[in-house]
Amino acid sequence: MDGWRAFERRLHDALELAHLDDPSLRADLEAETVVIEQEIEKRAFTAMLSGRYDDDDAILAIHAGAGGTDSQDWASMLERMYLRWAERRGFTTEVLDRTEGEEAGLKSVTIAVNGKYAFGYLRSEKGVHRLVRLSPFDAAHRRHTSFALVEILPQVAMDDPEVEIGPNDLRVDVFRSSGAGGQNVQKNSTAIRITHIPTGIVVICQNERSQGQNREFALRILRSRLLEIKKAEKEEEVAVLRGEYTKAEWGSQIRSYVLHPYQMVKDHRTDFQTGNINAVMDGDIEEFIDSYLQYRAEKKHKKI
């Protein structure tokens, strides 16, 4: 509130100076108007990130889907895109778990993204991402369609009351981390696999050298997934009551990336699109995030 009150005083001061109609103040008032407009735009955008966990750190998980080696390569392309985006925003990232593909790319990767509003920004990316291109893994160089699933979870505090885990709900397995050979081979069992028995959710973390750190990260991811399930159940229940429930099926992609026969990236929720796919794959996804947040805010306003 202090920030809003100070901004209100600044507006009043500018208006009072404008009412003086002094030509010598015109240049200063024009500069002040630009600053005020920028501040209003910034505050309006921040207001769209007012969800309960929007200002929290995020957990980003990418899973290769249908499409074999092409989809695993697509998953690694998405990993690079999000890592570049996080770097642009000044967020820190840490790979918690990574499973490489047999020939190329990766089967799955889990990344911790730390920074103010990391979850609020990244929640626009949750869903199925589709790639259409001429396959570099096809000898005939035919066009292939690949899919990858992106999960976005808030890094929930360990004491969040909404997530309850009973003492007998977990099975914890310890094993040696897989990785490069030579000096990098783990001689001790530090990797952690936690299975949540009631839901069957399995979380693996094998990045850190310490078994304790891996266990902490795995529990954090598990709690985030349990919270997501609880949240999804509530939203589904509300959607059914409103008569607007549609089941989310694999293949109902949120965004398509087309490299052939033309170049385009299109978000199917907002209809925002761009032909500069190279910039997008290099982490320039701000316009997609902005358009989704505006779309979500407008949709929420209509319901109210």
pLDDT of residue 207: 74
pLDDT of residue 248: 46
pLDDT of residue 302: 67
pLDDT of residue 180: 45
pLDDT of residue 184: 43
21-36 in b/e form (b: 16+ CB < 10 A) is: eeeeeeeeeeebeeee
DSSP 37-56: HHHHHHHHHHHTT-STTTTS
CATH code of the domain covering residue 128: 3.30.70.1660
pTM for the model stands at 0.78
Q: How many residues does the chain have?
A: 304
Same-domain pairing of 255 and 196:
no
pLDDT of residue 233: 78
Same-domain pairing of 97 and 127:
yes
Same-domain pairing of 228 and 140:
no
| Structural domain range at position 7 | 2-47
Same-domain pairing of 77 and 145:
yes
pLDDT of residue 279: 96
162 in any annotated domain: no
Same-domain pairing of 92 and 128:
yes
Please state whether the peptide bond connecting residue 167 to the residue before it is cis, i.e. omega within 30 degrees of 0. no
Same-domain pairing of 63 and 146:
yes
Q: For tokens 């990130």, what's the residue? A: 49
pLDDT along the chain (304 residues), means of 10: 89 92 91 91 80 89 88 96 96 91 90 93 93 88 90 78 85 76 52 92 81 87 87 70 52 88 94 96 95 86 63
pLDDT of residue 243: 59
Total domains in the chain come to: 3
